[in-house]
Copies of this chain bind each other. A is one copy, B any other.
């Protein structure tokens, strides 16, 4: 029987990088977790154990630390581009390099309202990510947010959906809308300052979530994505995934009490999962 290797990729995951930059008035801190994946001329290793083309994943790890020493870590996107350029420039056997970076969300401790120059605590609301794919002719730059917890206590309805013999869900005008947003967007050529874009997109997402009168999770997702495209011309496409972390109204009737949208039980499972991708026409 003939077997063919139709796809292969390999690399190093969870390379943990911390860089401290000691400026006169403050320390800058970057703590990132980095994944590297290479596609290219590596089939001989799979088929025959011939490793001559194989860049050891240990070497990839070393490369992260070396490039981090040589460069300023202003933003994860630039560093991912630099890693991609390095692997393509130094290794002719590499056709495609994919870099994923997750940013540890540190923020400065505030003392009497002032940010401390070298002490940090965990920041609120989500984890910044980026994904850069580089080949010798093209590259795509994407960024995103993981695990952004969102909840609103009103302005969320779900009515007029399809009903049949398997449907028991009542229509509601008021429900808690709780989710853990995961989103990623692709930048176009006009993108300039990744940190500015990120802050603006994050704030847009929070704001539209808060202000939207939701007729469905789907509709709010669409409104949030559309607002990002409208606000940030550097974004070409955005994908959002919103688990519907249902909070169920507790039945207090057996105990002689009403429950006017007041007491809920939060659930993790099962959960609705709503996804959508929007782009400029």
Contact = CB atoms under 8 A, between A and B. Distances in A.
A77 interface: no
A56 B275 contact: no
B51 A161 contact: yes
Contact of A59 (B121, B164, B216, B221): B164
Interface string A140-162: 00000001111111110011111
A167 interface: yes
Given A106-B151, A119-B210, A176-B18, A59 B167 contact: yes
Contacts of A61: 270
Interface string A1-33: 111111111111111111111100001010100
How many copies are assembled?
Answer: 4
Most buried by B among A9, A109, A207: A109
A57 B110 CA distance: 31
Given A162-B53, A272-B11, A46 B252 contact: no
Contacts of A6: 237, 277-279
B120 A152 contact: yes
Interface string A198-221: 000000001101110011111101
Interface of A: 1-22, 27, 29, 31, 35, 37, 42, 45-59, 61-63, 65-66, 68-70, 90-91, 93, 104, 106-107, 109-111, 116, 118-126, 147-155, 158-162, 164-169, 176, 206-207, 209-211, 214-219, 221-222, 225-226, 229-230, 237, 239, 243-244, 247, 250, 252, 254-255, 257, 259, 261-281
